[in-house]
Chain A
Amino acid sequence: MSPPVPSKILTDDVSLLMVLIDTNPHFWSSIKPHFSFSKFLSHVLAFLNSILLLNQLNQVVVLATGINSCGYVFDSSSGSVSQRAESLLPKLEEFAENDESLSERDDDSGNGVGSSLLSGSLSMALCYIQRVFRSGPLHPQPRILCLHGSPDGPGQYVAIMNSIFSAQRSMVPIDSCVIGIQHSAFLQQASYITGGVYLKPQQLDGLFQYLATVFATDLHSRNFLRLPKPVGVDFRASCFCHKNTIDMGFICSVCLSIFCKHQKKCSTCGSTFGQAKTLDPSASQQR
Chain B
Amino acid sequence: MADKQQQVVVKRARHKSSVKDPGTPGVLKMTKDRFTFMANDPSSPVKLNVEFRTIKGHKFTKDGTKQALLNLTQDQGGNYIFEFENFPDRNVCKDFVASAIALSGEAGRTVPEKSAVPIQDEQLSAAEMERRIKLLQEDSDLQKLHKQFVIGGILSEAEFWATRKKLLEQNYSRRPKQRVALKNDMWSTKPLADGQSNRVTFNLTPEIILQIFAEKPAVRQAYLNFVPNKMTEKEFWTKYSRAEYLHSTKNVIAAAAEAAEDEELAVFLKQDDMLVNEARKKIRQVDPTLDMEADEGDDYMHLPIQDHGLPRNDNKDVLDSQYEPYRRSFSQHLNQHAAVVLQGRVIDVELGDTRSVAEALARTKHAELAKDASDVYLDKERLERISRMTEIEDLQAPRDPAVAPLSIKDPRDYFDSQQANAFSTLGDTVSGAKQLKCSVSTREAYCSLKECISEIKFQGLTEPTINSEVAFKVLNGLAQNISSNKYHLGRNPNESILDSLPKITREELLLHWSSIQELLKHFWSSYPITTKYLLTKATKLKDAMSQIYPKLQEIKESVQSDLRHQVSLLVQPMLQSSVFMDQAFCCRL
Contact = CB atoms under 8 A, between A and B. Distances in A.
Interface of A: 1, 4, 23, 25-32, 36-39, 41-43, 45-46, 86, 89-90, 92-93, 96-97, 99-100, 103, 107-110, 112-113, 151, 180-183, 185, 191-192, 195, 197, 201-203, 205-210, 213-214, 222-235, 245, 256, 281-282, 285-287
Interface stretch (B67-75, B203-211, B417-425, B509-517): B417-425
Contacts of A232: 417-422, 424-425
Contacts of A233: 417-418, 421
A151 B446 contact: no
A210 B449 CA distance: 23
27 contacts: A1-B494, A30-B436, A30-B439, A37-B452, A37-B453, A41-B452, A89-B457, A113-B437, A151-B432, A151-B433, A183-B432, A192-B494, A197-B493, A201-B474, A202-B477, A203-B470, A203-B473, A203-B477, A206-B474, A209-B466, A222-B491, A224-B491, A229-B485, A231-B569, A233-B418, A234-B421, A281-B525
Which 8 A-B pairs give the minimum distances between C-beta atoms? Answer: A232-B421, A182-B432, A25-B445, A206-B474, A37-B452, A38-B452, A281-B525, A1-B494
Contacts of A109: 441
Nearest to A37: B452
A230 B471 CA distance: 21
Interface stretch (B185-193, B376-384, B530-538, B574-582): B530-538
A205 B478 CA distance: 15
Contacts of A205: 466-467, 470
B510 to A, nearest CB: 18
A96 B525 contact: no
Contacts of B441: 108-110
Given A112-B437, A182-B432, A235-B418, A99 B462 contact: no
A207 B478 CA distance: 12
A116 to B, nearest CB: 12
Interface in B398-421: 406, 414, 417-421
A100 B76 CA distance: 90
B417 A209 contact: no
Main secondary structure on B side of the interface with A: helix
Interface residues of B, number: 68
B429 A185 contact: yes
B295 to A, nearest CB: 47
Given A26-B438, A37-B449, A209-B474, 8 more contacts: A26-B442, A41-B452, A93-B453, A96-B450, A108-B442, A202-B474, A231-B424, A282-B525
A195 B525 contact: no
A286 B448 contact: no
Interface of B: 119, 159, 406, 414, 417-422, 424-425, 428-429, 431-433, 435-446, 448-450, 452-457, 461-462, 465-467, 470-471, 473-475, 477-478, 481-482, 485-486, 488, 491-494, 525-528, 530-531, 533-534, 569
B461 A214 contact: no
B419 A93 contact: no
A151 B436 contact: yes
A45 B453 CA distance: 12
Contacts of B446: 25, 96, 99-100, 103
Contacts of B424: 231-232
B436 to A, nearest CB: 5
A232 B569 CA distance: 11
A39 B464 CA distance: 12
Contacts of A36: 452
A235 B445 contact: no
Contacts of A206: 466-467, 470-471, 473-474
Contacts of A93: 450, 453-454, 457
